[in-house]
A and B are shown apart, each in its own frame.
Chain A
Amino acid sequence: MDSIIIEGIAFSIPLFIIAIGGIYSEGSGVINLALEGLLGFGAFAGGLSYALLSSVITGNPLLLIYASLAFAMVGGALLASLHALMCIKFKANQVISGVVINMLSVALTAFLANQINASVFGQPSNKFLLEIFPKVTVPLLSKIPILGAVFTDLYTFVPIIVVIALIMAYILYKTPFGMHIRACGDNPHAVAAAGGNVMKIRFISVLVSGALAGLGGMCFAYSISTTFSPNIYMGFGYLAIAAYIFGSWKISRTFLACILFGFARSAGYVLVQKLELPSSYGDLVLTLPYIVTLVLLLFFSSKTKAPKALGDVYE
């Protein structure tokens, strides 16, 4: 039971921050299918910075790890700026741009990782090795029955992400700027009439989306394989998209969706271990979050509401 909660949280929290990124972008009216590519590129930037900085910053592994998270956000935002440029400035089809960014990200990271590993570190490899992310067990809270597992063996990125998520939710729902973002998604012309700069607001939203996706991607890189490798493209970006559509573009409901995905996944893994089935049964288990989502959508889907101007090109 404990391991279900521990693993579930480690998976659903990074997913949640990626989904928030998606909500920012789509809330402002820019379809973001590029999340998959953004998270991968973020993880690449983080992994690269880790590999480069590890010779500069010695003796302080924690600083190194947090620096790599920051660089992952920069990397994600960098690639997102390309998406924003294509969608907003060049008025490309937002879906095509997203798909192309995904392709570009996979190709670019594979190419650069090989090239940099070969020329800078002198070894043929497409991976950047990382440290294991620090874990903490909160002294008192972890003693609570059942719920205590939430505070046991917690990756320290979890509280960081939760804080960022709270700030993001506050900005989106409680500040004038957040209202501008949401208004851009529903009726950009009204924003323009009220004196707002639609293009600027959308641009910033997409950048934020990239930064958050990069952060989430880096956390996945740490928690799942402790390397950056092309295996990072496992479809978590698409899962995040499913999460916020499922949460009908609201941060609170998206949180529930992510928790659901994470727990369905970890529960399945534990089940396979407990029943001592061969590891290939893990594949069947991995379908659980998807099946659960499909079934739940059967009942709730009539209520979902997308931003009204989603995908509209603003001129």
Chain B
Amino acid sequence: MLLLLGKNPFEAYRSILQGAGILPKTRYAGKKSQLTDFMSLLNYTTPMIFAALSVAVALKSGIFNICVSGIMVFSGFIATILVGYSSLAPIIAKPLVVLIGVVAGGLIGVLIGYLRHRFNMNEVVVAIMLNYIISYVVSFFIQTRFVDPITRQSVEVGQNARLTLFDYPIMNLKMEINLVFPLALITVFLIRYFITRTRFGFELQAVGLNSKASNYAGINVGKTVITTMLISGSLAGLAGVSYYLGSNASIQPRVLPALGFDSIAVALLGNTSAIGSFFASLLVMIFDSGTTYMSSRMQVLREIAALITSILLLFSAIGIFFRALANRYAREVEEV
């Protein structure tokens, strides 16, 4: 495709990696280096990890959580107005933001789980409806109360509440340090332990595989579904605060973050496992942040970034087919 536009594809891939801070660039602006680019990559990857985990956990118990975007906006908004505009000391404000993210996200998650269980509502429809309700209501409040007249977005949150430190001087370099990235790493392992090693994780998977059989086997399906959505919602809430009070600082009214929808594909790309989601997020975000650099260096349109990402996901989706083909071939060889 790049060939079509008359550009060298290998050069393009190299600049993607350079932009993402994996390979060194030829020139850097003052006080920037490969390390700063890499840290910025981690900064943008953090919300994606949380969002992908959220989708993955829900999928394990057979729930398709398409509401990640809505939950992100909701928790981001709540945290913004409660803490973002306050003048609390950073040491209190930052953990509070994380806590609010978890609680706000968890609430929406429980709501979806409850509606699905109690009223047998299709969670996809509920989630789509909630997405738009949240998006429009939040946009209403932003435009009437918290709008920044220049950017047409919500007023930026204070530095005391932000989960990312920008231009933080370390070793003579200006770095972006995402304070919740370690939390994301810990969460990945916690979720993995939780799903594969605990009784509840087993029940959760059993409900996902066959909810009727699980019910027969004495598992409380409703409780499992609601708890799963609690976890999934909290993770999405974390994604929201790390997105809106971390890598970004304001909320754009009427816009649902594309990241929430992309995370579905990312979680599936990671085979809905916690570790897989982590690496899938990293991979997708490398492309995402790297292509910006590539497009500026190679004079191609910026939109090509999203295009490359989606084609990548397209092929990874078909990858399952080729794996199945390989398996079948292997089996035939064995039989002979």
Contacts and interface: CB of A to CB of B under 8 A. Distances in A.
Contacts, number: 135
B143 A283 contact: yes
A93 to B, nearest CB: 6
A103 B133 contact: no
B contact residues, range = 35 or more
B309 interface: yes
A100 B310 contact: yes
Interface stretch (A47-55, A104-112, A144-152): A104-112
B307 interface: yes
Given A291-B133, A293-B125, A297-B125, A91 B303 contact: no
Contacts of B304: 111
Contact of B265 (A96, A245, A301): A96
Secondary structure type dominating chain A contacts:
helix
B124 interface: yes
B129 interface: yes
A246 B303 contact: no
Given A238-B131, A241-B125, 5 more contacts: A96-B264, A104-B307, A239-B132, A283-B140, A297-B119
B166 interface: no
A86 B265 CA distance: 14
A302 interface: yes
A90 B318 contact: yes
Given A100-B314, A287-B136, A293-B129, A107 B303 contact: yes
A99 to B, nearest CB: 5
B309 A103 contact: yes
Contact of B261 (A103, A281, A294, A297): A103
Interface residues of A, number: 44
A286 B306 contact: no
B225 to A, nearest CB: 15
Interface in A265-315: 278, 280-281, 283-284, 286-287, 290-291, 293-294, 297-298, 301-302, 304
Interface of B: 64, 115, 119-122, 124-126, 128-133, 136-137, 139-140, 143-144, 253-254, 256, 258, 261-262, 264-265, 268-269, 301, 303-304, 306-307, 309-311, 313-314, 317-318, 320-321, 324
A95 interface: yes
A290 B132 CA distance: 7
A106 B306 contact: yes
Contact of A298 (B121, B140, B143): B121
Interface of A: 86, 89-93, 95-97, 99-100, 102-104, 106-108, 110-111, 114-115, 235, 238-239, 241-242, 245-246, 278, 280-281, 283-284, 286-287, 290-291, 293-294, 297-298, 301-302, 304
A283 B64 CA distance: 27
B317 A281 contact: no
B129 A294 contact: yes
Contacts of A95: 64, 264, 268
